[in-house]
Structure 1
Amino acid sequence: MSTTNKMKVEIWSDIMCPWCYIGKRRFEAAMAQFPDAGAVEIEWHSFQLDPTIQSGHGDNLYAYLSKRKGIPYEQAEQMNNQVTALAGSLGLTYNLDQAVVANSFDAHRLIQLAKKHQLGDAAEERLFRAYFTEGKDFSDPATLVALGKEIGLEESVLQELVSGQAYAAEVRQDIAEAEALGVRGVPFFVFDRKYGVSGAQAAETFLEVLNKSVGEWKKTQPSGLEIVEGQTCGPDGDC
């Protein structure tokens, strides 16, 4: 729950989703142009595109997508080449031929832990880069511990995370909430629980929704006391 008087933007995302990383960059571009960015609080939520993935199956990303979507291997490769080029135009490096296809559930548990330490955005960013650029296996406990340490989490806390099932309930709650909201794909952005934006939209679209939602949110906020002046004594002794 937010402890600050800010309007919340909630983002449902899966770290193995190429459009989620692109959407993050485009939303950040909108925030950089938004004059009231300081009035916005961002919260990341977990979502799994494929909770049935068995880690260590050996398929590369193209083979996995070919089987899952029922398309030729070459078509899967072409699709990913296109999204790689788009990502590159935003300064992102996608090495999808090196991507390790694995179940993202434990990585989402890491994100939930990071959120408790106000490091949710840092965790998302680091995990995206680990998957899309560095070809790291985010189902490997040692990898998760190393990535968590990089963003500032303590090793003892991380070791406890990977050796148990802490924050699993929070991941499942996020997924259930997405279903209740009608989320069918990610990224999915929710502004003040009033407006939803599906997909990695252009920065201009995000900026438009930010202006609208924050403008409406501000109208609902207390503007301070309306004071009727009268005779008073001040700290300087004037009465």
Structure 2
Amino acid sequence: MKIEIWSDVICPFCYIGKRNFEAALEQFEHKEHIEVVWKSFLLDPSISELSSETYHEYLTKRKNMPLDQVNGMLANVTEMAKQSGLDYHLDQSIVVNSQKAHQLIQFAKSKNIGDKAEELLFLAFFTKGKNIADTESLIHIGLELGLNEIELNSIFDDQKYSYEVNQDIQEAKNIGVSGVPFFLFDRKYAISGAQPSQVFLETLNTTFTKWSASNPKASIQVIDGNSCSVEDGCK
């Protein structure tokens, strides 16, 4: 059963949502039947790749929010992250355009390590204060993922991965996604926001029950004869 997750790696609630979803998945009885697909989303495409603003500066200047309100909001988000086992340092997070980071994710998805790429990019942005628009930093993350350095040097100029990012964004618009994180379960149920793990678990159970009814296991009738097996040898 497929679960699609629209996310932006500069979104503090997306990392929290990821962790809460993972906690639910660990408790889910049929997790081996779940396929997770990460989808790209840009919260603010107007941000420059050369920006050097922290989260505090970004929200006060670009969103025209009072400093006291920003401080209180980010303190609350940091505490929420802590409750999910995450260590946020938002005073060090550099708010930059995440297009290139999403191109790295798309490349990682082609190697079946999209989830791991999301994790390392979230960690780089929210905990380590890395510039995730900087090509050198992204290549370093790619190498941590075990990706090929020669290929990594070309993906940020490759229109293929830029196109895939834009396709995800357009798909989000088509189904009415206006904010992230957004979790779509088997294209039937959706969860918006960093909900508690119990909400994810309940939705997993509900969706999987219906999915299982539509996708029954194949029943094969076997006529036994002489054969060899790993456990019993030949008989």
- Asked if TM exceeds 0.5, the reply is yes
Cα distance in 1 for residues equivalent to 2:123 and 2:169:
23
Q: Give the aligned partner of residue 72 of structure 2.
A: 78
**Equivalent residues in 2 for 1:9-28, closer than 5 Å:** 9-28=3-22
Question: Relative to 1, partners in 2 of residues 1:234 and 1:177: Cα closer, same or farther, differing over 3 Å?
Answer: same
Question: Relative to 1, partners in 2 of residues 1:70 and 1:220: Cα closer, same or farther, differing over 3 Å?
Answer: same
Q: CA deviation at 1:71?
A: 1.1
CA contact (8 A) 2:52 2:96 kept: no
Q: Give the aligned partner of residue 167 of structure 1.
A: 161
Note the alpha carbon deviations across 1:73-113, whole angstroms, 9 max, x for none: 23212211110011112211110000111100010000000
Q: Give the aligned partner of residue 203 of structure 2.
A: 209
Cα distance in 1 for residues equivalent to 2:4 and 2:54:
31
AA matched with 2:7? S
Note the alpha carbon deviations across 1:28-78, whole angstroms, 9 max, x for none: 000011111111010000001001101223322111111332211232122
2:141 is equivalent to residue 135 of structure 1: no
2:102 is equivalent to residue 108 of structure 1: yes
**Equivalent residues in 2 for 1:84-99, closer than 5 Å:** 84-99=78-93
Moved more, 82-91 or 108-117: 82-91
Note the alpha carbon deviations across 1:199-233, whole angstroms, 9 max, x for none: 01111100000001111111111432475x9xx78
Cα distance in 2 for residues equivalent to 1:16 and 1:138:
9
Structure 1 length as normaliser, TM-score? Answer: 0.90
AA matched with 1:29? A
Look up the SS of the partner of 1:51 in the other structure. Answer: coil
Cα distance in 1 for residues equivalent to 2:51 and 2:205:
45
CA contact (8 A) 2:51 2:94 kept: no
AA matched with 2:41? F
Cα distance in 2 for residues equivalent to 1:163 and 1:74:
41
Cα distance in 1 for residues equivalent to 2:77 and 2:43:
17
Structure 2: tracts of 5 or more residues without a match: 228-235
Cα distance in 1 for residues equivalent to 2:192 and 2:18:
12
AA matched with 1:107? A
Look up the SS of the partner of 1:167 in the other structure. Answer: helix
Structure 1: tracts of 5 or more residues without a match: 1-6
Cα distance in 1 for residues equivalent to 2:147 and 2:167:
23
**Equivalent residues in 2 for 1:14-93, closer than 5 Å:** 14-93=8-87
Look up the SS of the partner of 2:153 in the other structure. Answer: helix
Identity %: 48
2:168 is equivalent to residue 155 of structure 1: no
AA matched with 2:126? F
Structure 2 length as normaliser, TM-score? Answer: 0.92
AA matched with 1:60? T
